[in-house]
Amino acid sequence: MTRTAVVAGVGPGLGASLARRFDAEGCDVALFARSPGFIEELAGELDSGLAATVDVSDPEAVREGFETVRERFGPTDVLVFNASGASWTGLLDTDREGFRDALAVGVEGAFHCAQEAVSDMVENDGGTVLFTGATTSVRGREGAVGFSAAKFGARGLAESMARELGPRGVHVAHVVVDGGILPPGAGTGDRPEHEYLDPDAMAQEYWNLVEQDRSTWTLELDLRPHVESF
């Protein structure tokens, strides 16, 4: 059976790799992003892709995005919430608007998308919800109060959902991205490539979570590059 996968927060890095991996596994793939340009081009590369311009902080836009997915592909089976929006600033340099935007995208956006996707899953044969986290999901980062707060919040949402929805056939997992992701088509500066996470390899690990047997569901997965200092 063909799965319908929604990747919310798609750019040329991990989001694109997730879309391509899920497409290669035979999924119908919907791509959500605030701006249409890149996702429209990427959707055209996929065997079965759909680009939807969605600001995840806007609940009405999220609802309309999922309605578009249902009309094109049917109910959602897999959601990957990969969106974030925050300035890299500390407490005294972060204004109220910037802090609120970080929470609106990273926490409220996750909530809106999860509600829409899970409403499909519990009415059908279950499904999978995956959240992209970061090192700062578990350890606050200096100089990034909005990003840290949002990632902590999304992790809490994921843990709560997992306990509520597991008995209803919905696998919820949180992925801690503990390191920098290899940038697409650009140099890595003074750091060698092996100190970065490969986004294609990461996407394979996300797919492994989708394929897990229910008797061995993972709640949290840490991904990090192997470096000598680790």
**What is the residue extent of each domain of the chain?**
4-223
Of the pLDDT bands very low, low, confident and very high (cuts 50, 70, 90), residue 186 is low
- Bigger pLDDT: 192 or 113? 113
pLDDT in tens, 25-43: 999 999 999 999 999 999 9
What pLDDT is stored for residue 109 in this prediction? 97
Using a pLDDT cut of 70, give the percent of the chain over it: 96
* Rounded Cα distance, 65 and 112, in Å: 11
Residue 220 DSSP one-character state: E
Q: What letter does residue 111 receive in the DSSP assignment?
A: H
Per-residue DSSP letter, 25: T
Is it the case that residue 192 has pLDDT exceeding 80? no
Task: Return d(Cα 180, Cα 108) in angstroms, integer.
Answer: 25
Q: Is it true that domain 4-223 has CATH number 3.40.50.1980?
A: no
The mean predicted confidence, pLDDT, of the chain is 93
